[in-house]
Structure 1
Amino acid sequence: MHEPTESINLLSSLGINLSSGQLTTLAIALFVATYAMILLEKYVHRTVAALLGACAVMITGLLTPDMAWASIDFNTIFLLFGMMNIVNVLSRSGFFDLVARRALVLTRGEPARVLWIFSLLTALFSAFLDNVTTVLFMAPVVMTVVLRLGLKPMPYLIAVILSSNTGGTATLVGDPPNIIIGSVAGKGFGEFLTNVAPYALVATVAGIGLMHLLMRRRGDLNSDISAERLRLALTDDTPLKTNPLLMKQALGVFAVTLLLFMIGHPLGLEAGLIALTTSTFLMLIADLTPVELFEQVEWTTLLFFMGLFVVVGALEHVGVFTMVATSLTDIIGGNVGSGILLVGFASALISGFVDNIPFTISMASVLRELQTTFGPSMDPLWWALSLGACLGGNLTLIGASANIVVSDIAAREGHPISFGGFMRYGTPVSLITTTIALGLFYITHTLMN
């Protein structure tokens, strides 16, 4: 556990000096209070809640401002910021309107087809891109399609979120926890395809199927659109306002960005740096000013993550994650089967309520030490961590980056996704898909070996 911070802060100036144990309790209390405010979104905006929590962490001296700044994962922030700008240029070029119109014809106006087509596309894209990029691309298209069909956007946008997280589980580049695991454990793209992708595929299909059942039960697959309105929607030949040159520029930069995502890690290029660089280059060649683009950046999302990183950073600094991970290690010992279940389900549960990036960093360090002691036989625990951390992101609205990004897009368009509304769909899907994936993984690596 880290030593208490010795810098001057409000508590020390009042003559209050807390022990290490008391600092740990304070960090947990501030996290719980912040999370409670996020839950009370009707009264407190989640970005305000996260920033208040971050301020409290610094005021009480759990972290100095410099330490708080260092606790922010700027790879994630740069990735979000860069991809938001690229997607904004694509939007200005008319690309999303064009894709939405063609996708609408493909669905034939049937709600179930809308659900399955867009969910499968989202999962596929998320496997080979990062899932935040995918939802930035897919959410506006889905929003346009469902509104034209007279459907409620919320469940369809939630389906996009769930599919992005399950699809992103499949590969090294699909979800941030996998990137961390690949880096710490030295695992490559092919190893993820072999050891994780099959279970992620099953989880994806099961998740969409369960989402279908939930939406049908709640009437979300019923459309009251008239036959004439449907005909007009499917045969709409109104000229689209597009900018072909801008579209080509944006798609070209987008393609280069995706290519660099695939090959950048071995070259020492993090996804956030790639996105920041290519989006800046796009601003250079496009006939748009930064002011025009920055007006469309989801600043509330970026600030929410920055505040939450600071609050979670306080937990990490006082050793909460290390204590949890160490306790798991003591229970696991050298039993791979127990390790798969404990690491997998604990990771899923914790990742549903704490951003999975700092937890994965802490747990990956513990698994590396465990593997040093027990050798290659502990390899399955890396894949259990991947499945748990990624699929657990569907448990709540703040479980993964993609969830927050889509939520803010929906709120901006006047169709907010509430915390409770998300859990009505996301929680059962997360519980069942995680259980299926980890169960199959457990059977494969214990009972069959």
Structure 2
Amino acid sequence: MTEPHHPTLLDTLGLSPGEGTLTGLAILLFVLTYVLILLEKYVHRTVAALLGACAVMVLGLLTPEQAWGSIDFNTLFLLFGMMNIVNVLSRSGFFDLVARRAMVLTRGEPVRVLWIFSLLTAVFSAFLDNVTTVLFMAPVVVTVVTRLGLRPLPYLIAVVLASNTGGTATLVGDPPNIIIGSVAGKGFGDFLTNVAPYAALATLVGIALMHLLMRVRGDLAGGDSGERLRRVLADPTPIQTNPKLMRQALWVFAVTLLLFIVGHPIGLEAGLVALTTSTFLFLIADLSPVELFERVEWATLLFFMGLFIVVGALEHVGIFERVATTLTTTIGGDIGLGILLVGFSSAIISGFVDNIPFTISMASVLRELQGTLGAGMDPLWWALSLGACLGGNLTLIGASANIVVSDIAAREGHPISFGAFIRYATPIALATVALAVGLYYAVFRLTGAGV
């Protein structure tokens, strides 16, 4: 049934645009929003996304009701819930305690610093989200390496790479996966089975390559030794912890992960799980919800809302249906070819535009494609996950975690330039993308399945 036409600003001005004009406007606003996101030095990305969303509604591409309906609340609930659980863990002193133990394990050796903090970041990023992980890991790494007399820049870049590769492994680890899970209806277990093995291998290979690069460039030489090093490692400053709060938060976090795994088959989506368990944590923890809400990354949540509305305009005018038709024609039912096209193109594009808006757009295309190919096209979802998440390591603007670490590094007096990031990250990103997508393709061709 055709939806009733609501008068718009353009109608009032006597312009009465046709279908072709509306399509052109939707594409133009999408491109302009992308450009503004890339120019974050001048316009904050959240403001850019909200400007695009406002323009979509003001020009009548979507009514406010349609715009509200285009927002994926499963994604927002998941991010909001996990942010709150992580904030409580942080208040309990959990992350400070882990960082202190990790520092002792390094024994002040640069190689150990690289591997231990990279692996720690990768593991945390798999079960939290990578943006939240780098928010607390990056300052810790800066403190540790500067106290050991090492140059922070390569270690910070290593943390970025590990956060993106580690976050690729699970539904909640990286925003593109959260989007894919919600749009495709995939659960935590689906990502563990189809993506995690390749992400884990990419993580180990990525750290090994970073180790090699840093050795060649002399970044693993130097550092303090002797009595000063022993004093650093035996820092007597007590860590402020709240054991009761830590136990409560860890129990709720464990239950949340369990429900992520078993909830999808019984109709509990990840967003509802995270929202429910984080609310329960508020109930049992002796903390002010108002204070915790002040630490929520509202800018990130509003950024998602704005993008969903801008992308919703494209969907409303039929762009994704046309792109899906073209993609269907190109691959001709050859899912293997589709894996290569989606995987590598996603990686390249994600390297030069933020992988979040790209994934929102591409997920809409694949959802249209699913109507034609059915469940047999599931490997394309996993190719999108591998490409978008790992491709985010190509450049400094490829993923949200990259920008967050860059901001922290600049604030700490160790800025990361675009060129410096590329010199370390791009070769590693190309290698890990080729490895993960290529291996996934090879396994698919041999077995007819992703694993």
Q: Same fold (TM over 0.5)?
A: yes
1:11 is aligned to 10
- In structure 2, the gaps of 5 or more residues are none
Equivalent residue letter for 2:326: S
> Is 384-393 or 184-193 further displaced after alignment?
184-193
Q: Are residue 75 (structure 1) and residue 77 (structure 2) matched?
A: no
- Root-mean-square deviation (Å): 3.7
Q: 1:141 to 1:280 in 2, by over 3 A?
A: farther
Question: How big is the shift at 1:184?
Answer: 7.5
Question: How big is the shift at 1:102?
Answer: 0.7
Q: Secondary structure at the match of 1:300?
A: helix
Contact 2:75–2:178 (CA under 8 A) maintained in structure 1: no
1:358 is aligned to 360
Instruction: Provide the C-alpha distance between the structure 1 equivalents of 2:81 and 2:183, rounded to a whole number of angstroms.
Output: 25
Correspondence 1:103-114 to 2 at 5 A: 103-114=102-113
Question: How big is the shift at 1:104?
Answer: 0.5
Equivalent residue letter for 2:366: A
Q: 1:80 to 1:108 in 2, by over 3 A?
A: same
Q: Are residue 36 (structure 1) and residue 38 (structure 2) matched?
A: no
Instruction: Provide the C-alpha distance between the structure 2 equivalents of 1:411 and 1:225, rounded to a whole number of angstroms.
Output: 24
Question: How big is the shift at 1:58?
Answer: 2.0
Instruction: Provide the C-alpha distance between the structure 2 equivalents of 1:159 and 1:322, rounded to a whole number of angstroms.
Output: 39
Question: How big is the shift at 1:251?
Answer: 1.9
Instruction: Provide the C-alpha distance between the structure 2 equivalents of 1:148 and 1:342, rounded to a whole number of angstroms.
Output: 46
Q: Are residue 436 (structure 1) and residue 438 (structure 2) matched?
A: no
Equivalent residue letter for 1:27: A
Q: 1:181 to 1:312 in 2, by over 3 A?
A: closer
> Is 412-421 or 304-313 further displaced after alignment?
412-421
Instruction: Provide the C-alpha distance between the structure 2 equivalents of 1:216 and 1:50, rounded to a whole number of angstroms.
Output: 41
1:320 is aligned to 319
Q: 1:269 to 1:130 in 2, by over 3 A?
A: farther
Contact 1:371–1:379 (CA under 8 A) maintained in structure 2: no
> Is 275-284 or 391-400 further displaced after alignment?
391-400
Q: 1:385 to 1:40 in 2, by over 3 A?
A: closer
1:232 is aligned to 231
Q: 1:426 to 1:247 in 2, by over 3 A?
A: same
Instruction: Provide the C-alpha distance between the structure 2 equivalents of 1:50 and 1:276, rounded to a whole number of angstroms.
Output: 24
Instruction: Provide the C-alpha distance between the structure 1 equivalents of 2:308 and 2:425, rounded to a whole number of angstroms.
Output: 23
Instruction: Provide the C-alpha distance between the structure 1 equivalents of 2:324 and 2:396, rounded to a whole number of angstroms.
Output: 24
Instruction: Provide the C-alpha distance between the structure 2 equivalents of 1:308 and 1:418, rounded to a whole number of angstroms.
Output: 27
Equivalent residue letter for 1:39: L
1:211 is aligned to 210
2:370 is aligned to 368
Contact 2:23–2:314 (CA under 8 A) maintained in structure 1: yes
1:297 is aligned to 296
Q: 1:124 to 1:242 in 2, by over 3 A?
A: closer
1:330 is aligned to 329
Instruction: Provide the C-alpha distance between the structure 2 equivalents of 1:395 and 1:379, rounded to a whole number of angstroms.
Output: 25
Q: 1:249 to 1:171 in 2, by over 3 A?
A: closer
1:348 is aligned to 347
Contact 1:41–1:419 (CA under 8 A) maintained in structure 2: no
Instruction: Provide the C-alpha distance between the structure 1 equivalents of 2:132 and 2:235, rounded to a whole number of angstroms.
Output: 29
1:388 is aligned to 387
Question: How big is the shift at 1:133?
Answer: 6.1
Q: 1:239 to 1:330 in 2, by over 3 A?
A: same
Question: How big is the shift at 1:280?
Answer: 1.8
Superposed CA offset, 1:238-267 (max 9, x none): 222222222222222222222222222122
2:58 is aligned to 59
Q: 1:98 to 1:20 in 2, by over 3 A?
A: same
Instruction: Provide the C-alpha distance between the structure 1 equivalents of 2:383 and 2:21, rounded to a whole number of angstroms.
Output: 33
Q: 1:187 to 1:239 in 2, by over 3 A?
A: closer
Instruction: Provide the C-alpha distance between the structure 2 equivalents of 1:430 and 1:193, rounded to a whole number of angstroms.
Output: 21
> Is 231-240 or 33-42 further displaced after alignment?
33-42
Equivalent residue letter for 1:118: F
Instruction: Provide the C-alpha distance between the structure 2 equivalents of 1:424 and 1:302, rounded to a whole number of angstroms.
Output: 32
Equivalent residue letter for 1:332: I
Instruction: Provide the C-alpha distance between the structure 1 equivalents of 2:416 and 2:9, rounded to a whole number of angstroms.
Output: 37
Question: How big is the shift at 1:30?
Answer: 2.1
Superposed CA offset, 1:27-53 (max 9, x none): 222222222222223322222222222
Superposed CA offset, 1:122-177 (max 9, x none): 33444456555655664565455345445565654443343233234345665565
Q: What is the total number of aligned residue pairs between the two structures?
A: 445
Q: 1:233 to 1:218 in 2, by over 3 A?
A: same
Instruction: Provide the C-alpha distance between the structure 2 equivalents of 1:4 and 1:427, rounded to a whole number of angstroms.
Output: 47
Question: How big is the shift at 1:274?
Answer: 1.9
Question: How big is the shift at 1:336?
Answer: 3.7
Question: How big is the shift at 1:337?
Answer: 3.5
Instruction: Provide the C-alpha distance between the structure 2 equivalents of 1:62 and 1:41, rounded to a whole number of angstroms.
Output: 25
- In structure 1, the gaps of 5 or more residues are none
Q: Secondary structure at the match of 1:304?
A: helix
Q: Secondary structure at the match of 1:44?
A: coil
1:93 is aligned to 92
2:26 is aligned to 27
Q: 1:208 to 1:258 in 2, by over 3 A?
A: same
